[in-house]
Structure 1
Amino acid sequence: MILVIDALNRHRFGTILDDMYKLRARVFKDRMGWDVTVRNGREIDLFDDLDPAYLVALDDDYQVVGCNRMLQTTGPHMLADVFQDILCGEPPLRSATVWENTRFCIDTDRIKRKSNGRTVSYTACELMAGIAEYAYESGISDVISVVDPAMDRILKRSDNAPCDYIGQTVQMGKTKALAALSDITEERINRIRAFAGITGDIFVDEDTVADALATADDATTELTPDLRDYCDQQISSARTDSEKAAALALQRTLKTAFRTTSGCDA
C-alpha cells in the first residue's frame, strides 16, 4: 500500500519519514555508492526542504519498504541542479505539468525477511503504479526519473518503459545515471497493474495509518489516567470523521508531549 506524504500532512508522519530517510541512506550511499550527504544515518538533501510529495510503500505492519520523491520542475530540482551533466548543455524541462521523480528505492532486505508473500518485484511495481496514478490524478502529463541502468531495465521489464530519454548517461558513484521520460496515461497505469497483477486501490488512507501509529505508541507510552480518559471520551463522542481525526490528533500531540517531558525522546 502507498501512503502519500506532502506539505499538508507531513507533520503526522515524522516516524515514517525518518525511516524513509534511513532507507535512502542504506540504498544510495551504502549500496550504490552515490555522492550523497548522510548525517546520523539519514540521507536528506536540500530538495527535501522544498515540500515535495513522497510516495511511501508500506507493508502490512505499516513499516517502510519503499519510497520515492516527486518535485515540480518549475523550481529547483535534481536534473537541473545536480545531474546537469546528463543534459549535455541543453536547458532543463520546466513545466507545471512535468514533475521529477527521484530517490526511488526498495528495502529489499526487509521484504525478503518477511513471510507475507510480498516480493521485491511486486513492491516496485506497486510504487511505479502509485507514481503514475498520483501523477494522473494530479494533472501531471509527464514524469522525469533520474535512474541508474539497472532501474531502467526494471522499468522496461515491468511494461513501464520510458517513452523517451533526456541527455546522456553519466557516471555517478559506483554506477551511472540517466534521465528517463514517462508520459502519464491510463494505458501506462493499466500496463503496470496488469504486469504485476495489481487490483483495487493501492493508496492507503492517511487517517488509517495515523491511527495505527498511534496504537503502536500505546505499547510504549501511557498518558496519565485523567488525560487518557479525556482522550478516550473525545474520540468516542466524535460525531464526524473530522471530529474523530481532531481527537486522535490531540491524543498524538499529548503523547508526544508526555514522552518529551518524561525523557523518552532523549
Structure 2
Amino acid sequence: MIIVIDGINQNKFEHVLDEMYKLRARVFGDRLGWDVSIVDGRERDHFDDLHPAHVVSIDDEGDVVGCMRLLQTTGPHMLSDVFHSILDGEPPIRSAQVWEATRFCVDTKKLGQGRRENSVSYVTSEIMIGSFEYAKTAGVLDSIAVIDPVMNRVLQRSGNAPYDYLGTAKPMGKVVAMAALMDCSDERISGVRDYAGIEHDVFLTEEKALELFEGAKAKQSAANYDHQPLTQLEKYFVEQMSSATSKTEVESVLKLIETISDRFTPEQKTALLRTPRAFAHEA
C-alpha cells in the first residue's frame, strides 16, 4: 500500500523516510553499485532537501518495500543538473505540469517474483499507480524519468510504456541512461491496473500507515530485546515465573513486577511475561 510523504506531512513520517533511505542505499549502492552518496547506511542527495514527494510502499508487516521520488521541473532536478548530456544541448523541460520521477526502487530481497501481492512486479505497479494518481490529482500532465534500458523494458511490458524520449541514450558510469516521457492519464493508470490486476484504492491513510509502521518497529524492538543479555533483576523474575506452580504464585510475581515497573521499559515487561510457565498458568 502507498503513502505519499511530502513537505507538508514529512514531520509525521521521519522514521518511514529513514527506512526509505536505507532501502535506497541497499539497492543503489549495494546491489546496483551506483556512484551515490551513502552515509550511515542511508542514500540521499541534495534533491531530497527540496521537499519532493516520496511515494512509499509499505507492506502488511509495516516494512518499507519500495519508493519513488517526484520532483517539480521548475527548479533543480536530475535531468537538468546531473544528466543534462542526454538532452544533446537542448534545454530541459521547465513546467509546473511536468514532474520528474527518480530514485525508483523495490526491495527485491524481501519481495518474491510473479505478479501476486508482495511481489516485485505487484509493488512496482502499485508504486506507479500511486505516483500517477497523486500527480494527476495535483494537476500534473506528464512525468519525465531518467531510466536505463532494463527499466524501459519493464515499463513497456507492464502497460506503462513511455510515449516519447528526450535526447539520446548516454553511458552514465556502469549503465546507459535515457529520458522517458509518460503522460499522467486515466488510460495509462488503467493500463497499469489491468496488468497488475489492481482494482482497489492503493493509498493508505496517514493513520493506517503510522499504525503499520509503528507495529513493525515494536516487533523489531521486542525481537532485538530478546537477544540482549538479561540483567540480574530480569533473571530473577524469569526464574520466579518459571518456578511458579500455581496461579496465585504467578499473580504474586506479576504484582511485584508492576510494583517496580518504572525500572522496566514496556518491551522488557512484555518479555518477562512471555515465559512458557507464565503462559501455561494464565491459560
Coarse TM-score class (shorter-chain normalised): 0.7 to 0.9
Match of 1:110 in 2: 110
Structure 1 moving runs of 4+ over 6 Å = none
Distance 1:52 1:172 in 2: 24
Question: Quick check: 1:34–1:172 contact (8 Å CA) kept in 2?
Answer: no
User: Residue 109 of structure 1 aligns to a residue in which SS?
Assistant: coil
After superposition, give the CA deviation of every residue in 1:216-263 in whole Å (9 maximum; x if it has no partner). Answer: 566659xxxxxxxxxxxxxxxxxxxxxxxxxxxxxxxxxxxx99xxxx
Larger radius of gyration between Structure 1 and Structure 2: 2
Q: What code does the residue aligned with 1:111 have?
A: L
Match of 1:134 in 2: 134
**1:86 corresponds to 2:83:** no
**Any gaps of 5 or more consecutive residues in structure 2?**
223-264, 267-283
> How many pairs does the alignment contain?
221
Distance 1:218 1:130 in 2: 27
The alpha carbon displacement at 1:202 in A equals: 0.2
Q: What code does the residue aligned with 2:38 have?
A: V
| Inter-CA distance 74–128: structure 2 relative to 1 (3 Å threshold) | same
| Inter-CA distance 9–41: structure 2 relative to 1 (3 Å threshold) | same
Match of 1:152 in 2: 152
Match of 1:72 in 2: 72
Match of 2:44 in 1: 44
TM-score calculated relative to the size of structure 1: 0.78
**Any gaps of 5 or more consecutive residues in structure 1?**
222-257, 260-266
The alpha carbon displacement at 1:215 in A equals: 4.7
Match of 2:17 in 1: 17
User: Residue 167 of structure 1 aligns to a residue in which SS?
Assistant: strand
Distance 2:50 2:150 in 1: 28
Question: Quick check: 2:62–2:214 contact (8 Å CA) kept in 1?
Answer: no
The alpha carbon displacement at 1:50 in A equals: 0.1
The alpha carbon displacement at 1:156 in A equals: 0.2
After superposition, give the CA deviation of every residue in 1:79-108 in whole Å (9 maximum; x if it has no partner). Answer: 000111111111000000000000011111
After superposition, give the CA deviation of every residue in 1:140-174 in whole Å (9 maximum; x if it has no partner). Answer: 00000111110010000001000100111111232
Question: Quick check: 2:62–2:216 contact (8 Å CA) kept in 1?
Answer: no
Distance 1:7 1:72 in 2: 13
Give matches, 1:115-194, under 5 Å: 117-194=117-194
| Inter-CA distance 78–120: structure 2 relative to 1 (3 Å threshold) | same
Distance 1:206 1:4 in 2: 9
Match of 1:61 in 2: 61
Distance 2:100 2:213 in 1: 30
The alpha carbon displacement at 1:61 in A equals: 1.1
Match of 1:29 in 2: 29
Distance 2:33 2:92 in 1: 25
Question: Quick check: 2:88–2:168 contact (8 Å CA) kept in 1?
Answer: yes
User: Residue 110 of structure 2 aligns to a residue in which SS?
Assistant: helix
Match of 1:200 in 2: 200
| Inter-CA distance 217–23: structure 2 relative to 1 (3 Å threshold) | closer
Q: What code does the residue aligned with 1:185 have?
A: S
Query: Which of 166-175 and 137-146 deviates more?
Result: 166-175
User: Residue 201 of structure 2 aligns to a residue in which SS?
Assistant: coil
Q: Indicate the RMSD between aligned Cα atoms, in angstroms.
A: 2.0
